[in-house]
Structure 1
Amino acid sequence: MSQQARQAVLGVAVIGTGRMGADHVRRINDVISGARVAAVVDIDADRAKGVAAGIEGCVPCTDPAAAMARPDVDAVLIATPGPAHEAALLTAFGHGLPVLCEKPLTPDPAAALRVLAAEQRLGRRLVQVGFMRRYDADYLRLKSLLAQGAYGRTLMLRHKHRNAATPPGFTDAMTVHDSLVHEIDVTRWLLEEEITAVRVLRPVATGRAPEGLSDPQLVLFETAAGQLADTELFLNCGFGYQVGCEAVCEDGTARIGDDHGVFVNAAGRWGGEITPGFVERFEDAYDRQVQRWVDAARRGEVRGPGVWDGYAAAAVCEAGVRAQATGERVAVELIERPALYR
């Protein structure tokens, strides 16, 4: 990217205009600064046209390659389903375009390794993966406390991940790939260690769980440094969306996720509100994530979680699905970390 282009408004092609893609289009157009939506892509031409309508200079497309070849496109935001990510990423590499790719990087570690190898051949990082919790104010504060050693060494993490209900067709494997993947990344980020093994326990299922879905589940991670992290996954709790984390350290504990917004005393009752979903809970984190990606791209840089983090998460997910199926402790298999990602 030329020096002139780095200083100009970043033209972004948004690939995929479903729930997340359309929300990112709104975010770039209405919330953040330094970028504009130059193109939107969806296999549904009418959907693409509808999302592009009213955005000055935004071109609707059905082909990601055609959008990325446009001269006014400086960067790419990928918000398609996971199986389409690899092809879009490799196309972006061919144009030398920086990418913000929604999680997962790819659905499996084999595909992630192909992306990793392609980025290494370029000799520079182009991809930021959309693990938005790294941009949440509470998680950032917790990360800072742990990095400073405020309470001594971190020994354990205790995660909770609750959702009101799962959509139709949700499977056990999806609880890992679509939900637990966030705790996987947060654990690696907070502890600065790789996850080396996974075990999944299944308590008695809630009556709200669809037939064939184990819910809740308790997942245990081991790290290379011997720390443990457990996650309560309860995806049909019925009462709302709750995410939290407690770090258990040598000299104290630190917990996030207890904020219920405005606390009310009225009509003989007291209490607050529970966030209905992840978009509302992490709206500020999404805004901060995209703004920082845009700022870095305009400087010709890539920051934040990258291809290695996407690959490592995919490898842990693969082990997690095997642990679900077998009930056994399953080791995570990772290649040696390449120099580009150290």
Structure 2
Amino acid sequence: MTDLRVGIVGVGVMGADHAERVVRKTAGARLVAVSDADAGRAEALAGRLSPRSAGEPASTARHSGGSAYAETVRVVEDPMDLIAADDVDAVILASPGFAHAEQLFACLEHGKPVLCEKPLTMDAASALRVVEAEHKLGRQLIQVGFMRRFDPEYAALKQLLDSGDLGRTLLLHNVHRNKSAAPTFRSEMIVRDSMVHEVDVARWLFGEEITRITVHTPAPTSLVGDGVLDPQLAVFELANGAMADVEVFVNFQVGYEVRCEAVAERGSATIGLGSGVFTRAGERWGGTMPADFRIRFEQAYDIEVQRWVDATVRGAIDGPSAWDGYAAAAVCEAGLESLSTGKPVDVALADRSKVLG
């Protein structure tokens, strides 16, 4: 079987990580092209991942899946040209969120399956237009990069809750902490770029839509600039009467920490208590904490991309859909309004049955 030829748009932190993943870990896929607004960055990555740049014969260059690397990874200046290219079968979008709408419409126009990093788009209206455009094609091409669904701990929690062994799930408590964030990471980005993961987690674990969100802003840490509201505490209300909360703190200083506790009628379950060996010795206890999200969710990203490749070859998706991306955008849009007003805001969500038939 011929490898799926993948192009990546945006090769910053996440895009470069995916490029390495496609080349070194993903079976049945081959990285053929990259595009980035920073041409130098794209050239450097392409050079590093092209086997002959290191003197390695293309015929012997292999990744763990057993497929040969491309002879070279080419750089395409215009991302639209990459999407349209005949030698690109599928696209990973890791570009800035403001560029997603135009690039997603291009993927749909050219019939290219796409794994789109969050957010789907920057607002609910444009996200809904993407959903509608995909629906008109009669097949799903868009998968959204909510990788927590692929994390083994989250997957096990989902399986447990769906089994009914603990009874009906009533509450969800989430913690999402980063060691630090860039000075340019503003209050609104905490909602749209960080909290959005818990928005998807809540919808997925409960199997229900979020109908209302309230974002609370305690006194901010002294380690951020004026006007940045960090941490934030949000409360989600779901259509079935359940509730979820999330603390997002992007300048925690300690490390990267993500925890989730589900409280049900006959018990509770918690994930994210620590990776590696948890020790008790010499009147001390503890374990290790990863430095950033790429370490904590490395396995989730690996599984996500491999399953996306496998599903794409089958002509399907195997993960969060364009609708999931739209629903998350709608919740975050309401969250931004709540952030500015301090009041609960109802989520304005289109009728799924009318949009998707």
The letter of the residue matching 1:106 is: T
The correspondence for 2:73, drawn from 48, 51, 58, is 58
Matched, 1:124 2:139: yes
Whole-Å Cα distance in 2 between the matches of residues 290 and 340 of structure 1?
28
Which residue matches 1:79?
94
**Is the Cα–Cα contact under 8 Å of residues 93 and 116 in structure 2 kept in the other structure?**
yes
RMSD: 1.6
Residue in structure 2 matched with residue 278 of structure 1 by the alignment: 293
TM-score, structure 2 as length reference: 0.91
Q: Does the CA contact (< 8 Å) of 1:123 and 1:340 recur in 2?
A: no
State the secondary structure of the residue aligned to 2:262: strand
> Which stretch of structure 1 is more off in the superposition, 109-118 or 20-29?
109-118
What residue number does 1:159 align with?
A: 174
Q: What is the Cα deviation at residue 269 of structure 1?
A: 4.2
Q: Answer whether contact 2:132 2:355 (CA < 8 A) is retained.
A: no
Q: Tell me if 1:49 matches 2:43.
A: yes
- Going from structure 1 to structure 2, the CA distance change for 1:142 and 1:268 (only over 3 Å counts) comes to closer
One-letter amino acid matched to 1:107:
M
CA 1:300–1:249: 2 relative to 1, 3 Å: same
Give % identity: 51
Contact preservation (8 Å) 2:168, 2:265: yes
State the alpha-carbon separation in 2 of the partners of residues 126 and 260 from structure 1: 34
| Residues 175 and 257 in structure 2, CA contact (< 8 A), matched pair in contact too | yes
Counterpart in the other structure of 2:18: 24
Superposed CA offset, 1:250-297 (max 9, x none) = 011011110242234567644211111111100000000000000001
TM-score normalized with structure 1 length: 0.94
Q: Kindly indicate whether residue 130 of structure 2 is the aligned counterpart of residue 136 of structure 1.
A: no
- Alpha carbons 1:127, 1:307 under 8 Å: kept: yes
Deviation at 1:151, TM superposition (A): 0.1
Residue equivalent to 1:188: 203
1:340 to partner: Cα distance: 7.6
Q: Which residue of 152, 168, 193 maps to 2:183?
A: 168
Contact 2:117 2:146 in 1 (8 A): yes
1:204-251 CA-to-partner distances (Å, cap 9, x unmatched) read: 322223321122221100000000001111222211111011111001
SS at match of 2:172: strand
Contact 2:132/2:356 (8 A) holds in 1: no
SS across alignment from 1:157: strand
- Separation in 2 of the partners of 1:111 and 1:282? 29
Q: Give the superposition deviation at 1:338.
A: 4.1
State the match for 1:308 in structure 2: 323
Number of the residue aligned with 1:14: 8
Which stretch of the first structure deviates more once superposed, 124-133 or 65-74?
A: 65-74
Name the aligned partner's letter for residue 318 of structure 2: R
Q: What are structure 2's unaligned runs of at least 5 residues? A: 51-70
Q: Residue 240 of structure 1 corresponds to which residue in structure 2?
A: 255
Report what 1:3 is aligned to.
none
- Preserved contact between residue 135 and residue 356 of structure 2 (Cα < 8 Å): no
Aligned to 2:215: 200
Partner of 1:36: 30
Q: Which residue of 2 aligns with 1:103?
A: 118
1:320 and 2:335 correspond: yes
* Equivalent of 2:235 in 220, 243, 247: 220
For 2:290, the aligned partner's letter is T
Q: Distance in 2 between matches of 1:213 and 1:255?
A: 30
Shift of 1:70: 2.3
Distance in 1 between the 2:320 and 2:108 partners?
17
Partner of 1:272, secondary structure, is strand
Structure 1: 5+ residue runs without aligned partners?
Answer: 1-6
Question: How far 1:144 sits from its partner (Å)?
Answer: 0.2
